[in-house]
Amino acid sequence: MRRLGNYINGQAVPSNSGRYGSVFNPATGHESCQVALSNQAETREAIASAEAAFSQWSQVTPLNRARVMFKFKALVEQHADEIATLISQEHGKVFSDARGELTRGLEVVEFACGIPHLQKGEHSLNVGRGVDSFSLMQPLGVCAGISPFNFPAMVPMWMFPVAIACGNTFVMKPSEKDPSVPLRLAELLTEAGLPDGVFNIVNGDKEAVDVLLTDERVQAVSFVGSTPIAEYIYATASAHGKRVQALGGAKNHMLVMPDADPDQVVASLIGAAYGSAGERCMAISVAVCVGDEVADRLVGQLADEIDQLRVGPGLGLTEEAHMGPVISEQHCAKIKDYITLGQQEGASLIRDGRDFVYPGHEHGYFVGASLFDHVTPGMRIYQEEIFGPVLCVVRAESYQQALTMINEHEYGNGTAIFTRDGDTARQFCENVQVGMVGVNLPIPVPMAFHSFGGWKRSLFGPLHMHGPDGVRFYTRMKTVTARWPTGLRAGAEFSMPTMK
């Protein structure tokens, strides 16, 4: 059985922890390899490698750091099919979705290539007589990233390209469920000319994570995952003096107004709810319909579309599936339990995916697309993140009731409104208490040159991922006020200095 270790100081290294986790192909349920669950000493070794590399890497000019990113981007594009295949094999998503994930990750690399411009400070001439003031955006040191299973390429690339381009060094702790892609990216970074030790990978579980959160050499921690873990990451790392951006869970609503184009709504919703088997933090899992007529029409059309969905393995089919399996046997069982719970809570189960089996893949982790109607805010299937191919339809009597429903939910990651009315859309964008908003667009993931992040219990920490906030997160500002000799001489001043 193939065993994956760590990537430290520019090379793959085996683990000596003696602990390994199993990596499965979700489409077959078969174990494909094993991954190291690193101990504290191995994690500290990765941090030490990053710390040793920082002094030289931080002094490399921004232009030369950007050139490494340019080469890395070209190498990832060259190996895109290989990487997408790894994503499909270990995560389960279909190949085109895997390629799309990789493309969105590369957009952040492209953004990081502009670091000579992005890391410029500000300058003010003559803030006082003969006095100038300017700011420096300097790197922090060793940074750490902890990424989830659902985007093994994109989410790490939300983190390390910006951090490294800003002059930091990095330790990545990927998900132990699909670790092969980050290790491949590490090899390509080395091939692109990144010095040894600037980027390191330590595979593992909570033992490795806790070292990253508490070791005094780590200056900043980035995380994407569930809200309970995000809250733990934020509390623990902050208590140890680190800056933290921890992105948590979501329950994203789509508000459907009576004037919305029905065909556009259905086409958008079917992909946003069931793409990647619903394992996206920006998936639409709740459709809020204003009026029973809107809801009745939508549910009927969705049911017809669900009947046409192709569910199957992410690779190897003549006609590609629309969605593949979910990540693990345990998660598959959890999603099915939520569907059972929804029935017990009184929601109307319009389409039931619990019994779906793909022929020849009876041990795969498949769940068919499921649809609930008449869901109410008091139900757990409405309140909790299911993270699977389950869509809840909620009925509201008015726009205001629907808006209040969205604003009162504990999560505030993403939302969307579908309407032809510009005034309603504008009001929604201004008043909804959610961090990312789409107008007639179901998954409003910002481009890399904007920042990604939610509100409320979907984000812990003040700064979002990538974009301008990403640069701010991975740098610290130093402001310099300078006076050079001009022949002027002044006596001592004992009052508060002012620029006269």
Residue 258 lies in a domain: yes
Residue 312 lies in a domain: yes
Residue 50 lies in a domain: yes
Residue 448 lies in a domain: no
Q: Is the dihedral of CA 182, 184, 186, 188 positive or negative?
A: negative
Q: What is the pLDDT of residue 490?
A: 63
Query: Based on the domain organization, do 112 and 40 belong to the same domain?
Result: yes
Residue 72's domain spans which residues?
A: 3-248+458-480
Q: What is the pLDDT of residue 494?
A: 76
**What pTM does this model have?**
0.95
Q: What is the pLDDT of residue 489?
A: 63
Residue 488 lies in a domain: no
Query: Based on the domain organization, do 234 and 277 belong to the same domain?
Result: no
d(CA 459, CA 469): 13
Number of domains in the chain: 2
Query: Based on the domain organization, do 168 and 223 belong to the same domain?
Result: yes
Residue 314 lies in a domain: yes
Could you tell me how many residues make up the chain? 500
Q: For strands 459-460 and 475-483, give the pairing.
A: unpaired
d(CA 52, CA 50): 5
Query: Based on the domain organization, do 152 and 50 belong to the same domain?
Result: yes
Query: Based on the domain organization, do 237 and 301 belong to the same domain?
Result: no
* Cβ partners under 8 Å of residue 62, min gap 6: 115, 116, 119, 165, 167
Q: What is the mean pLDDT, run by run of 10 residues, along the chain of 500 residues?
A: 96 96 98 98 98 98 98 98 98 97 98 96 91 96 98 98 98 98 98 98 98 98 98 98 98 98 97 97 97 98 97 94 98 98 98 97 98 98 98 98 98 98 98 98 95 97 97 97 76 72
d(CA 35, CA 248): 25
* Residues linked to residue 412 through DSSP beta bridges, in sequence order: 455
Q: Which two tokens stand for residue 56?
A: 């030289």
Q: What is the pLDDT of residue 202?
A: 98
- Domain with residue 409: its CATH number is 3.40.309.10
Strand order in the sheet with 20-25: 3-4, 30-36, 20-25
- Domain with residue 106: its CATH number is 3.40.605.10
Q: Which residues are marked as active site?
A: 281
Query: Based on the domain organization, do 240 and 256 belong to the same domain?
Result: no
Query: Based on the domain organization, do 16 and 97 belong to the same domain?
Result: yes
Query: Based on the domain organization, do 234 and 266 belong to the same domain?
Result: no
* Cβ partners under 8 Å of residue 428, min gap 6: 255, 403, 417, 437, 439
Q: Packing angle between helix 95-112 and helix 62-78, nearest 10 degrees?
A: 170
Query: Based on the domain organization, do 267 and 158 belong to the same domain?
Result: no
Query: Based on the domain organization, do 205 and 338 belong to the same domain?
Result: no
d(CA 29, CA 23): 10
Query: Based on the domain organization, do 221 and 268 belong to the same domain?
Result: no
Residue 487 lies in a domain: no
Residue 486 lies in a domain: no
Do residues 309 and 274 lie in contact, with contact meaning Cβ atoms separated by under 8 Å? yes
Query: Based on the domain organization, do 153 and 263 belong to the same domain?
Result: no
